[in-house]
Amino acid sequence: MENSIKQFSLPDLGQTLEHRGIPKFRAMQIASWLYVKRVRSFDEMTNLPSALRSQLALAYPFTFPTIADRQVSHDGTRKYLLELMDGTLVETVGIPSDDGRLTVCCSSQAGCAMGCLFCATGKQGLRRNLLPGEIVDQINVVGEDFGQRISNVVVMGQGEPFANYRNLMGALRILNHGKLLDIGARRITVSTCGIIPKIESFTLEPEQFTLAVSLHSAHQNTRDLIMPELARFPLSDLRDALKSYSKETGRRVSLEYALIEGTNDDDQELHRLVRFCKGLLCHVNLIMLNPISDSPFRPVSRKTLERWTGELERNRINATVRQSRGADIDGACGQLANSVLKA
16-22 LR contacts (CB < 8 Å, sep 24+):
20/55, 22/52
Phi, psi of 295 (to 5 degrees): -120, 140
Angle at the Cα of 282 from the Cα atoms of 118 and 233, rounded to 5 degrees: 50
- Are 156 and 104 within 8 A, CB to CB? no
3-state helix, strand, coil in the chain (%, to 5): 40, 20, 40
- The DSSP element (H or E) to which 118 belongs, if any, is none
Tell me, rounded to whole angstroms, the distance of Cα 154 from its chain centroid.
5
Query: The dihedral of CA 181, 184, 189, 195: what is its sign?
Result: positive
Phi, psi of 155 (to 5 degrees): -90, 80
294 Cβ contact list (under 8 Å, min separation 6): none
Collapsing DSSP to helix, strand or coil, 74 comes out as coil
CA nearest to 189, candidates 212, 171, 205: 212
Give first-to-last CA distance, the chain, whole Å.
Answer: 26
User: Amino acid identity, residue 340?
Assistant: V
For the chain, how many residues are written? 343
- Are 108 and 135 within 8 A, CB to CB? yes
- Are 43 and 53 within 8 A, CB to CB? yes
Positions annotated as catalytic residues are 91, 333
Beta-strand runs (E) in the chain = 66-72, 78-83, 89-96, 102-105, 109-111, 126-129, 152-155, 188-192, 210-214, 253-259, 282-288, 319-322
Quote the CA–CA distance of 308 and 314 in Å, as a whole number: 10
